[in-house]
Amino acid sequence: MNILTFKGKIWLVMSICYLMSLAVKAQKTTFEWPDTPASTVFQDFIKSYNAGEEHQIRMFVKKHYQPSDLEKENDRVEYWMDMYHRFGPVKPYELSINKPYDLEVWLQGTITKSWFAPEFIINKKDNKIEGQAMLQGALPDGIKIGLNDEKSMLREFKRYLSENEEKGFYQGAVLIQKGEAVLLESGYGYQNVEKQLKNTIDTRFRISSIMKTITSVACLKLAQEGLLDLNAPVSKYLPELPEHISTKFSVADILGHTSGYELDGIEDFREAYAKTTSMEEVYKLQLEYLHKWEHYENFNPDYKYDYANDSYDLAAIIVEKISKMPFEDFLKRFLFDVSGMTSTSFEADINTGCYRYDLAGGGVIDFSSYYPNGVGKISGAGSIVSTVKDLQLFFNTLLKTNKILDLSHKGWLFSPRAKISIASNVIRDKNFVSLIDLEKARVKNYYGLGTFINYDSVFHIGHSGTNVGNSTEWRYFPEADILFISLSNNRNGGKNSYNYFKNLMPRN
């Protein structure tokens, strides 16, 4: 005789399913440390790192690194403390490299949900760390991502933002739009900690390299009007530049980061750059210092992707020369006003702080006095401030109307130009940087003209922005017609929130 009622059967089935889910979760989270010298070091690292305290990290550094002077010791301590304030406490997930003296482990933030994989290379004689690496921008093999529906995605993402706000890992503003409907617009944390000003959707943030999309759109606007040939050599528009440099790359090369033009390693150049207040001053400064550049005599670009800020300033200078208008005036007239934007400008004096960890400062401090950092006060690469609502207006106008660009010129934003890798493995304490072989990369992403074109989750385009104390993202998912904007005024909030959001997106 069947003694179970209908409700009883339902309860039994649900109980069995629940227990099975626990078993699956336990299976996924089971992690066993190998019995090796490298594993001993790594386990001590996890314990020290998760404490989130400077003295614990310093004890780890003193115990496990090769002896060094105080400056290098402090550099290592600050590096790991900065990592903690970017990604928060972690749990080990999976071994990536497992050798007796070389161990790489996938870690996931328990709060930020960020993935990264540190690697420690151990000296066989004294079991001290002789090299370390950090794999970021990818996921472990076999990770299942994506929720079943957009309602679940949005509910979980709101929970994520609230928890990260509470724990201090996200402060900023987020706007998510699907079609014409706004699904989420909210501020989190503090705009200014010292003044106890809360972030809102009207807070003005430094958007950093999101500016590169805007600069690219300005160039595409001129191309659409027949005033700019994107494939012409830069020498056509900037005759003042030495010909042995300006004839070797085009405007499209600039916007696609394949020009090879980035004036690094020039003494006093960056300090002078930060004091410039116009594109005219930037151009004069570049011409003044250019002969000191290490590649000046033998400039020979390989046209591979190489992210650059100085070349984007050349693009802004080209806009000025063709339009015969200051760069900022061109943007306002032909992009911002057309979009109805009222809170976007190069204004430097705003109340929004930029927060990150600083060892000398004794913790997380405001770095806003360091801005602009690496570029001028007017720049084609960064320096502009905006709000999530203004950026929503801009990208809606850009992507959903022909008021700024027609369909064929918008297509440049979606067209892959240079192959990039989302993951890099950087060796510290060694004199080289090792990048993943693009031909062997598990995920192949691209850069268009002022846009990253991503295939590592649901197809989407957009751009990130990062500086000493802010992290920003704009992304558009065309198949779902979702616009995502996250502007944060802490070290990694924008990037963490974007990475988690894209991994929550339902898969068709």
Classify 502 as helix, strand or coil. helix
For residue 372, name the pLDDT band (cuts at 50, 70, 90).
confident
* The pLDDT value given to residue 436: 42
* The pLDDT value given to residue 421: 65
Among 475, 469, 501, residue whose Cα is nearest residue 488: 469
Domain assignment present for 383: yes
Of 431, 448, 465, which residue sits at a domain end? Answer: 448
For residue 423, name the pLDDT band (cuts at 50, 70, 90).
low
Domain assignment present for 304: yes
DSSP 208: G
CATH number at residue 379: 3.40.710.10
* The pLDDT value given to residue 144: 85
Full-model pTM: 0.90
Q: Please indicate, yes or no, whether residues 467 and 430 belong to a single structural domain of this protein.
A: no
Domain assignment present for 301: yes
Q: Please indicate, yes or no, whether residues 375 and 427 belong to a single structural domain of this protein.
A: no
Q: Please indicate, yes or no, whether residues 275 and 374 belong to a single structural domain of this protein.
A: yes
* The pLDDT value given to residue 29: 56
Q: Please indicate, yes or no, whether residues 198 and 74 belong to a single structural domain of this protein.
A: no
Q: Please indicate, yes or no, whether residues 155 and 259 belong to a single structural domain of this protein.
A: yes
The answer, yes or no, to whether residue 332 has pLDDT greater than 90, is yes
Task: Provide the Cα torsion 176, 177, 178, 181; round to 10°.
Answer: 130
Q: Please indicate, yes or no, whether residues 98 and 225 belong to a single structural domain of this protein.
A: no
Mean pLDDT, the chain, rounded, equals: 90
For residue 143, name the pLDDT band (cuts at 50, 70, 90).
confident
* The pLDDT value given to residue 443: 52
Domain assignment present for 6: no
Q: What percent of the chain has pLDDT over 70?
A: 90
Question: Residue 341 carries which side chain, given as an amino acid letter?
Answer: M
Q: Domain total for the chain?
A: 2
Query: CB of 223 within 8 A of CB of 235?
Result: no
Query: CB of 485 within 8 A of CB of 438?
Result: no
Helix (H) or strand (E) segment spanning residue 177: strand 172-178
CATH number at residue 120: 3.10.450
Domain assignment present for 336: yes
* The pLDDT value given to residue 411: 93
Q: Please indicate, yes or no, whether residues 115 and 240 belong to a single structural domain of this protein.
A: no
Range of the domain at 464: 145-414+457-508
Domain assignment present for 25: no
Q: Please indicate, yes or no, whether residues 334 and 210 belong to a single structural domain of this protein.
A: yes
Distance of CA 360 to the CA centre of its chain: 25
* The pLDDT value given to residue 422: 53
Q: Please indicate, yes or no, whether residues 305 and 362 belong to a single structural domain of this protein.
A: yes
- Alpha carbons within 13 angstroms on the beta-carbon side of residue 255 total 32
For residue 121, name the pLDDT band (cuts at 50, 70, 90).
very high
Domain assignment present for 506: yes
Domain assignment present for 184: yes
Between CA 272 and CA 144 the distance in angstroms is: 48
Q: Please indicate, yes or no, whether residues 162 and 272 belong to a single structural domain of this protein.
A: yes
Q: Please indicate, yes or no, whether residues 368 and 508 belong to a single structural domain of this protein.
A: yes
* The pLDDT value given to residue 483: 98
For residue 404, name the pLDDT band (cuts at 50, 70, 90).
very high
Largest Cα span, the chain: 95
Q: Please indicate, yes or no, whether residues 358 and 408 belong to a single structural domain of this protein.
A: yes
